[in-house]
Structure 1
Amino acid sequence: MGIILLTKKKRNFKQAALYTGTILAGLLYMSCSKKFSESQTFFNLPVDKTMHDLLAGYDTDGDKKITKDDAPQKDYYMVSTKGDTVIIRNTYYLSNLLQELAIAHEEQHDSLRISLSRIQEPPAERISRRIRTHFWDDLTRTIDEEGLNRITEDEKMHDSHQRIYVPYHDSTGIEYFLELQKRRRNLEVVILPPVISAEYVRSINTRPGILSLKIENGKGVPFVVPGGRFNEMYGWDSYFEGKGLIIDGRLELAKAMVDNFCYQVKYYGKILNANRSYYLTRTQPPFLSSFIREVYEATPARERSNEWLAHSLSMAIKEYKEVWMDCKRYTPETGLNRYYAGGLGIPPETEPGHFRSILQEYADKYNLSVLTFEERYKSGEIKDAELDRYFVHDRTLRESGHDTTWRLDNVAADLNCVDLNSLLYKYEKDFEYLIDTYFKGDYTAENGESYTTAYWHEKAATRRMKMKQYLWDAEKQCFFDYNIKTEKLTDFMSATNFFPLWAGLCTEDEAESLVSIMMTELKAQGGILASSKASTIKYATNDVQRQWDYPNGWAPHQMLLWKGLLDYGYESEAREMIYRWLWTITQNAVDYNGTIPEKYDVVNSTHKVYAEYGNVGTEFAYITKSGFGWMNASYQYGLSLLPEDYVHKLDNLEKPEEVFGRQ
């Protein structure tokens, strides 16, 4: 399908060239008329009527989108302001038109003046522009009077209250929200106890609420949410979103997110899984040192604040020591780390019935109905050590960010994971670098403790040695997670096994082996797989498709491993994997009305993912307003790394096999 251009004087279909294979072919003119100028062609369209006509003629499945799944039965004619008649027969162009009309409708315009060039906007350019000019703004939130409604009135609150929990020691936040409570009858402000226990967190599970973030100058410090039902500030999502923000010139927003992370460390004792009350005992993969470093070094030298860096570094060191080293997340028998989430009982954020099959086994054991058993277990009336341990593993799996994967199923808390230890190695190297570069090799944290460059150099070297000792499989020449209970390496092939490339802890020989394995085991048509097919089949105990496993691919894995490949000099491999991922995003956006979701099936290069939690970001009418946070970032990051000729190939939707050959 393409677009045919006709003059209103003569409609000569024989002389109108048709779509010839690329998305942009089809801007044509009649030999009998003057040359058609795309840049000077505009249309004045009545918004509501045009939207109605488009949907009536082209949205044949009634989902309020124009996609490749629709089966339009007629051409769509438009007359330009100069009198030229245009016929649009291309799903991508029609969906672009619908999206632009939806924006005008949202802004309450009766008519839309639109150029043909906007309708025909090259897809990579359009996706990137929408991310830069629309998506980040739509995903931005604040926890204050202005921003409270957008978060507290979502489906996760469960009642009519706007409930906000404020840390015991945050006098600024307490004063602000108590004053606000006087003006808002349905606002319930709860001041958290000075020590937050697992028992306390369980006691408030029936009264869910938002956890406050930083208030500065009478306003909430802004942050970006992932999108869809994820309407709060998440841990590792925020780092990847921050990379996209920096690329798009939104440095102040990225810096604000670092400030909110530092607030969380100071007042909640950790970077939270997300700022909801039921996440008080759970963190996520650590990226604060990288976030600080990248924000600071993206800041023009004349605008850098040594005071900001000193405070942020102090909070990152506090997180490193208290969250990861001086608690159960450190395993002294190996000198390495594990994820280990606190809390009691069933993770309250899960959907009703999510654990029904597990709970049924224990309900039978106690001769109770499953619903009765669940309620009595949730309240603490029934205690079962075996089931408790299962939920320690489950909460820990969620803390890892990989919820869920067969790699961590019922074993997460027993693993020294490759990804986590790579991230903590990066912390140690970042601390070494920042102290050496900006504090002349000697730094005193806010608690009075002093640190030298040499101190962190030694920490990193020790961790690298321990990782080689416990996590490196000499026979397979690859890193794997280590089970501290069985004292054996696992053999699960996951994208996380290759995080050492990103952290920079590999030797050249190790990197060569890792790259070869990754490109063999995890390369798919649409990007890097979250796990290999063989490992997923081997460890699956039922037919539930875990979303962090084959055949799916995720933005954070792509972004980390692209950088790892580039840092070790594997430019051609990096270029290929970047292209494959961006092509998947671009092709799906072109075919499905601009859809940019949470994840993809990268084997089939589709957003139609059949996993346990579906795919956030695919349910919208007319136009996606926000895409999905780290997916947006991966697009901008990938484009920033891709040579211009490959961006042109993206615009033409050249398939990976056409660019790189068959796998």
Structure 2
Amino acid sequence: MTVHSPVTASLPFIQLDTGRSRTAPCHAADRGRPPRRLRGLFAACLSLALLGGEATAQEGGRADPPLSPSQQYGALFVDVQMARLFPDSKTFADAVARRAPADILRDYEAQRSRPGFSLKAFVQENFTLPPEPATPPGDGGRNQRPPIDKHITELWAALARPAVPRPDPGGSLLPLPAPYVVPGGRFREIYYWDSYFTMLGLLQDGRRDLAQGLVDNFASQIDSWGHVPNGARSYYLSRSQPPFFHRMVGLLGRADEESDTPAAADQRAQSYARYLGQLKREHAFWMDGADRLAPGQAHRRVVVMPDGAVLNRYWDDRATPRDESYREDVETAAASPRPKDEVYRDLRAGAESGWDYSSRWFADGRTLATIQTTSLIPVDLNSLMYGLETAISEGCRWARDAACTRHYRTLALRRHAAIDRYLWDGERGFYVDYQWRSGQRQVALTAATVLPLFVGIASRPQADGVARAVQGQLMRPYGLATTRVDSGQQWDAPNGWSPLQWMAISGLRQNGHAPLARELATRWMQSVDRVYRDTGKLMEKYDVEAQRPGGGGEYPGQDGFGWTNGVMARLLALYPDALRSSRDRGSSPQRAGCRATPAARGQDETAAAACD
């Protein structure tokens, strides 16, 4: 396997938040032109921008990363995506060329202006399109479906894929040295943060082989690219996703993450030590440029606050439409008065967050065109970075490197203090994001508020405040709502997502709110089970107000589904009675999980309020 350097490891330091973008002249030139001329001009500008953007990646003799489809095919790629040739923009981004790209582009230029030329026929002749998403193994009907736990166990084989040591050079897939698990549906490749939640179920069901493969694949990606890409496609290389690699490594050491015994801590530390090089390299990726910034400045994923504290934001190293959502991004940018490259960057950064998209990122709290992801310091990202720094410190402790232990422990402690200073809203009693350009905390409450509990940095009063906010403002009849805003985006109300349910449940359990955690888990589990019994499917997301699959966003609902399966399998082990109670005659889903004794419920006032 060819080993590549990070896409932007050698980028020179640039103050990215001031001055003009290198692609601004192109964007200024295309304003007001008719659509056909816009496409041609945009393709030319795109080629120039990409050539300029990639030139720095060759400095210092580092190897080039593979080109994305938009970089390889230029005007052809733009024309296909803007013509809506496929309902899903990801289809062409995942296509595999039947012959050399240079030959395809030469013939395209020669044929495109001829009378009767068919763009669709040209694509079908020169590319192999990805197959339609396979339907997970089903059954003969509602009355013949196996219990959900058995179905999840059977699904692992359907979602597993063999190693890809040498991908087809005509496609966008990246090499992976070990077998892996895909989410399902249109998501045909491995994804970063999804895989942690998938691992919960793999380990619960005894599939340590697949869990080990996921970790080894991500370690290989860090060695190859300097970070874990969003997904295993060339068009994802310019960004990552929430940094969960250390949590996956910890799971290999000790699947029961909540155990805080000395023996459990040592098991996790030993696992961290095994992957210490990759953990440090991932940390360096997220912290690139931190040592060259003055207070109030930002570079890539790092922001230095006015008091010198260093926190992180989401980012993407490209400022063009996403290959997998090309037309959608062009249309969003056209609806914004801002420079297009700024909108593209914020859209891409929103994709790095995993919350693509949510009113959480919108300046007006409603409209995608006002997206401002790079202007926000997210509480979830910085909580996970605290976890990464702590994991490295623990790995260094196991390796008996005292200086390393102290260094990363100091970084974690400083980050903890900065999270308390900037991201804790003492007046309202929960964690929020921070708009670093305006110097103001965000107003919106989102499910990301549970992350400090999940990573173990919330004090008891802080945990109590978050528990009250969860129970009083985010809990719905069938689980935890992502936000309180119904914007039509998929990471907003009324949708709930398995990763957010798990982190809330785990965080509450660790911080003295076990009854409330059980209440939340039971509501969610009963909804997932009900939809499965009705449809035979496990979905990517769910409507927590109506006990049905979730909606909204850029694509139809997907089934499969890796992280739903993983979280559900783990919850079934933690709460084996939850589904039995939901099937009792006359059981109310709003009151499910309220069968604990009054004494047990009395340990948590918010849980008691939910049940009384």
Pick the TM interval, shorter chain.
Answer: 0.5 to 0.7
Which residue of 1 is the match for residue 374 of structure 2?
413
Which residue of 2 is the match for residue 140 of structure 1?
160
* TM-score, with length taken from structure 2: 0.66
Could you tell me which of 284, 290, 298 is aligned with 1:321? 284
How do 1:463-474 and structure 2 match up within 5 A? 463-474=415-426
How do 1:420-439 and structure 2 match up within 5 A? 420-436=381-397, 438-439=398-399
Between the aligned partners of 2:312 and 2:269, the Cα distance in structure 1 is: 31
Query: CA 1:212 to 1:345, structure 2 compared with 1: closer, same or farther past 3 Å?
Result: same
Q: Is the Cα–Cα contact under 8 Å of residues 269 and 323 in structure 1 kept in the other structure?
A: no
Which residue of 2 is the match for residue 330 of structure 1?
302
SS of the residue aligned with 2:169? strand
Unaligned runs of 5+ in 2: 1-136, 257-262, 290-298, 363-370, 595-609
1:298 positional shift = 4.3
Q: Is the Cα–Cα contact under 8 Å of residues 259 and 312 in structure 1 kept in the other structure?
A: no
Q: Is the Cα–Cα contact under 8 Å of residues 480 and 500 in structure 2 kept in the other structure?
A: yes
SS of the residue aligned with 1:388? helix
SS of the residue aligned with 2:230? coil
Between the aligned partners of 2:237 and 2:421, the Cα distance in structure 1 is: 34
Q: Is the Cα–Cα contact under 8 Å of residues 609 and 615 in structure 1 kept in the other structure?
A: yes
Which residue of 1 is the match for residue 175 of structure 2?
212
Q: Is the Cα–Cα contact under 8 Å of residues 250 and 268 in structure 2 kept in the other structure?
A: no
Task: Give RMSD over aligned pairs.
Answer: 2.7
Between the aligned partners of 2:465 and 2:372, the Cα distance in structure 1 is: 27
Between the aligned partners of 1:286 and 1:272, the Cα distance in structure 2 is: 10
Could you tell me which of 572, 579, 601 is aligned with 2:522? 579
Could you tell me which of 485, 496, 515 is aligned with 2:437? 485
Between the aligned partners of 1:397 and 1:348, the Cα distance in structure 2 is: 15
1:486 positional shift = 0.6
1:638 positional shift = 1.1
Structure 1 residue identity aligned to 2:444: F
Could you tell me which of 303, 311, 316 is aligned with 1:341? 316
Aligned length in residues = 431
Structure 1 residue identity aligned to 2:441: L
Which residue of 2 is the match for residue 131 of structure 1?
152
Which residue of 1 is the match for residue 169 of structure 2?
188
Q: Is the Cα–Cα contact under 8 Å of residues 435 and 442 in structure 1 kept in the other structure?
A: yes
Between the aligned partners of 1:421 and 1:361, the Cα distance in structure 2 is: 29
Provide, for residues 148-171 of structure 1, a one-character-per-residue CA deviation record: whole Å limited to 9, x for no partner: xxxxxxxxxxxxxxxxxxxxxxxx
Which residue of 1 is the match for residue 545 of structure 2?
603
Which residue of 2 is the match for residue 182 of structure 1?
none
Which residue of 2 is the match for residue 217 of structure 1?
none
Which residue of 2 is the match for residue 656 of structure 1?
589
Between the aligned partners of 1:482 and 1:306, the Cα distance in structure 2 is: 32
Between the aligned partners of 2:582 and 2:459, the Cα distance in structure 1 is: 34
Unaligned runs of 5+ in 1: 1-97, 103-117, 145-172, 178-186, 190-207, 215-220, 363-384, 444-449, 618-626
1:343 positional shift = 1.1
Does 1:356 pair with 2:335? no
1:143 positional shift = 3.9
Which residue of 2 is the match for residue 291 of structure 1?
248
Instruction: Report the structure, 1 or 2, having the larger helix content.
Output: 2
Provide, for residues 152-206 of structure 1, a one-character-per-residue CA deviation record: whole Å limited to 9, x for no partner: xxxxxxxxxxxxxxxxxxxxx5xx66xxxxxxxxx436xxxxxxxxxxxxxxxxx
Which residue of 1 is the match for residue 32 of structure 2?
none
Q: Is the Cα–Cα contact under 8 Å of residues 289 and 313 in structure 1 kept in the other structure?
A: no
1:360 positional shift = 5.9
Provide, for residues 443-489 of structure 1, a one-character-per-residue CA deviation record: whole Å limited to 9, x for no partner: 7xxxxxx612x322222111111111111112112211111111111
Does 1:613 pair with 2:531? no
Which residue of 1 is the match for residue 350 of structure 2?
397
How do 1:225-240 and structure 2 match up within 5 A? 225-240=182-197
Q: Is the Cα–Cα contact under 8 Å of residues 509 and 517 in structure 2 kept in the other structure?
A: yes
Between the aligned partners of 2:514 and 2:242, the Cα distance in structure 1 is: 27
Which residue of 1 is the match for residue 570 of structure 2?
637
1:312 positional shift = 1.4
Which 10-residue stretch deviates more, 278-287 or 606-615?
A: 606-615
SS of the residue aligned with 2:359? coil
Could you tell me which of 275, 280, 299 is aligned with 2:232? 275
1:637 positional shift = 1.3
Between the aligned partners of 1:421 and 1:353, the Cα distance in structure 2 is: 29
1:597 positional shift = 0.8
Provide, for residues 244-268 of structure 1, a one-character-per-residue CA deviation record: whole Å limited to 9, x for no partner: 1111111121111111001111101
Which residue of 2 is the match for residue 51 of structure 1?
none
Q: Is the Cα–Cα contact under 8 Å of residues 286 and 312 in structure 2 kept in the other structure?
A: no
Q: Is the Cα–Cα contact under 8 Å of residues 218 and 228 in structure 2 kept in the other structure?
A: yes
Between the aligned partners of 1:289 and 1:141, the Cα distance in structure 2 is: 23
Does 1:442 pair with 2:401? yes
1:309 positional shift = 5.2
Between the aligned partners of 1:324 and 1:601, the Cα distance in structure 2 is: 36
Structure 2 residue identity aligned to 1:136: W
SS of the residue aligned with 1:350? helix
Structure 1 residue identity aligned to 2:353: S
Query: CA 1:596 to 1:351, structure 2 compared with 1: closer, same or farther past 3 Å?
Result: farther
